[in-house]
Structure 1
């Protein structure tokens, strides 16, 4: 019997060229409302800092706004970069969100800074680093337990709240840790496609049943863009290509409009680098993208796919959500 695969959405509140941060945040909320109406399972936003093209830096604040504007879809972080924060603060923030929106809040945790090193230093005044990730996760999880491990320091709100904790990763480190702790695992296939299979295998091989999960639960984030035709989908995807090209050139900026021909923008070598990073992408008409995603999920034995749709035109980005889910169902 084929297992049911959930479909979710990932969003970085992209700031589009010629538009404001306010417009980016408002459109992210509208995107979540659209995803909910189409039947998506969850809608996650990700923590990044010091990036002109990303408006989701105050991740918990944005999650609260999205949860308030929706009714049923799960809302969460994809993810909170835990070494940037005191675990108590995150427990209180997500405990508050869970108290306001019961059974709808997810807490995905990453160990990367989500920014450059200078900004990471500004965030991490107490000297935490990725090496502290296991102890930070343990401390955070304790704050959610009904009887806190430290009776003198308690997360209120937070203590006793049902906040599912996910580990996120783009390599095998978090995959193994998630497996050993018996936690759900989400892999960043949208920018690290070559590591998908090794990381998932490591997660499945090291998984130990826990009070959270009796068996593994995995999710893969991918780039997904659908349109009425394959040609139009690939044209829309040129905004995604430009975004990755700007990062390769170390000149990240706002999301650029689609172009007719990328050959006037990138060199053959740059094209190769961009497409290698984006090989975990599904681009075409809705029926084709949905079918490819189903085959992908089945082959990798994943429980869920999370689609990031990087499209400049706001209406066409939302239409891509609809086309994929219409074909999926």
Structure 2
């Protein structure tokens, strides 16, 4: 495989699992990814979601960084309209100061939550409108000069934490191109505009102090297992879990109920979200990823290992690394 592999760890809290167990699994995944040669691991900001434990993204990154040595870690991403740019500059400036050369900062403008949660976050409903200006303000705190006279981020100033624009539409692609920043497309859950967004980004890219040429990271779902049947079983369980996440509203569906919803028009949304999914043995997954990298015109793939349990995700991490030639002699867990 010619493009680097990275991991998007959703810090999923599985069935009959606690948040503490989920976060312990995230530590184990990062340590394994580091040992196997993955480039980076990112964590996403989500709020009020009972199945995701990465809401305090910078705190989680700090914890993982303290339990690893070399692998890059970052936000994929921080939803900047939920925060002041100064606060994020201080948080990630602190992370970079403690773990130099290892921290990434991906930025999104979505709320990462519903309307009630937005109110609980004290988020201004119009905050997303100032996202481009907020990115520039944040960049000033980290690289200088500051855009707010007399205000500096400490720690933060001079840390030059690399910024990435995250998106699933042409808006993010155009902004990343204008600012000369790397662009990460959320094709693991919002696949529809992938090729158009990447083409626009590459066409309109302007070099910057951070980046001379365009750089695209594309998200993709992966479930690699020792047998095709096992992988398909995990994939079906993952889709059922998505049904509960989006339609449950506190209710737990049986497998039959979840499958009925997946077969309904409403369920098509879940299936569309998972359009780009590599499922099967390591060889089949690698073949899919090679084709997807070309399809996405990507410089790097960031993989969301979607098995429903921690052990399944760790095994998927191993199998993909072995198939891609990152490591050899991976034995069954």
Using structure 2 for the length normalisation, give the TM-score: 0.92
Residue matched to 2:329: none
Deviation at 1:210, TM superposition (A): 1.2
How far is 1:146 from its partner? 4.1
Preserved contact between residue 52 and residue 252 of structure 1 (Cα < 8 Å): no
Give how far 1:318 is off. Answer: 0.2
Match of 1:286 in 2: 282
* Structure 1 residue 262 displacement after superposition: 6.5
Does 2:218 match 1:202? Answer: no
Q: Structure 1's 321 and 124: CA in aligned 2 closer, same or farther, altered over 3 A?
A: same
The within-5 A match list for 1:52-201 is: 52-125=50-123, 129-201=127-199
Q: Cα gap change, 1:268/1:209 in structure 2, threshold over 3 Å: closer, same or farther?
A: same
Matched, 1:315 2:307: no
1:277 maps to: 273
Q: Give the total of aligned pairs.
A: 325
> Alpha-carbon deviations, 1:175-200, whole Å to 9, x = none?
11001111000000011111111111
- The one-character-per-residue Cα deviations of 1:19-68 (angstroms, maximum 9, x if unpaired) are 11111111111111111111110000000001111110000000001111
Closer/same/farther in 2, CA of residues 285 and 119 from structure 1, 3 Å limit = same
Cα gap change, 1:155/1:221 in structure 2, threshold over 3 Å: closer, same or farther?
A: same
Q: Which runs of 5+ in 1 are unaligned?
A: none
Deviation per residue, 1:53-93 (Å, 9 max, x gap): 11100000000011111111100001000000010000000
- Contact 1:239–1:310 at 8 Å: present in 2 too? no
Q: Deviation of residue 325 (structure 1)? A: 1.1
Q: CA deviation at 1:252?
A: 7.0
**Partner SS for 2:133:** helix
Distance 1:252 1:47, change over 3 A: farther
Gaps of 5+ in 2: 326-333
Larger mean CA deviation between 115-124 and 184-193 belongs to: 115-124
Query: Which of the residues 288, 299, 303 maps onto 2:295?
Result: 299
- Output the aligned Cα RMSD: 2.2
SS at match of 2:161: coil
How much does 1:305 deviate? 0.4
TM-score by length of 1: 0.93
**Deviation digits for residues 152-181 of structure 1, max 9, x if unmatched?**
111000000020000000111101100111
Instruction: Please report how far the alpha carbon of residue 312 of structure 1 lies from its aligned counterpart in structure 2 after TM superposition.
Output: 2.0
Q: Is the 8 A contact 2:217 2:301 kept in 1?
A: yes
Q: State the 1:271 CA deviation.
A: 4.6
